[in-house]
Structure 1
Amino acid sequence: MLTYEDCVGLTGLEEEEIEAIAQHEHLPEIVAAEMGCCLVGKLGGELQIMQIIRDDIEAANDHHHPEEALHWKQVLTHFSQIHHLPECEAA
């Protein structure tokens, strides 16, 4: 039987990136892991994940949660570095 950690390891994503998808899409994390795995393997999917994380940053700012917004900004920066996306895309 696979654990959640096993599933995360198979996605090509970090746990925080899966959490961002789960929050954005209002999904359980295991379902978000599957969605994220599909997006990573799809042309343009990484850019979609970046937009999801940006949306989470915006939502945190809109709800006056600066610490959460900072967390998602760090996740976005890490994601862009790991997936070799241009820095301008992460801004």
Structure 2
Amino acid sequence: MVTYEDTLGLCELSEGEVMAIAEHEHTAPIIASGIGSYLIQHHGEQIISQYILDDMVRAQKHGDYIHQIELQQILAQFLAEHPFQGTPH
């Protein structure tokens, strides 16, 4: 049986990045790790960064500033490890 930890180890993303995808896509973390893996393999760094930005805006709108800061840190880490050209669309 494949576990979430197995998929996390294979997807080239941190747990925080996977959790941000899960939050954005309203899905289980194990599914989000598959989405993230697909996006990384197909140059979807802009899409992942936009997911995280969307989550940050949602957290801010709901007054969840602690989560907003956590997502800012996740985004900074993601951009440092997965640079891309241009800005998120």
- Equivalent residues in 2 for 1:1-91, closer than 5 Å: 1-43=1-43, 45-85=44-84, 89=87
**Could you give the per-residue CA deviations for residues 30-55 of structure 1, whole angstroms, max 9, x where no partner exists?**
01110110000113x01100000000
SS of alignment partner, residue 76 of structure 1 = helix
* 1:4 CA displacement: 1.4
TM-score, normalisation: structure 1: 0.89
Q: Matches of 1:42 and 1:24 in 2, distance apart?
A: 19
TM-score, normalisation: structure 2: 0.90
Q: Matches of 1:3 and 1:66 in 2, distance apart?
A: 32
Q: Which runs of 4+ in 1 moved over 4 A?
A: none
Q: Matches of 1:89 and 1:80 in 2, distance apart?
A: 11
- Count of equivalent residues: 88
* 1:18 CA displacement: 0.5
User: Which residues of structure 1 form unaligned runs of 5+?
Assistant: none
Aligned CA RMSD, in angstroms, stands at 1.7
SS of alignment partner, residue 24 of structure 1 = helix
SS of alignment partner, residue 58 of structure 1 = helix
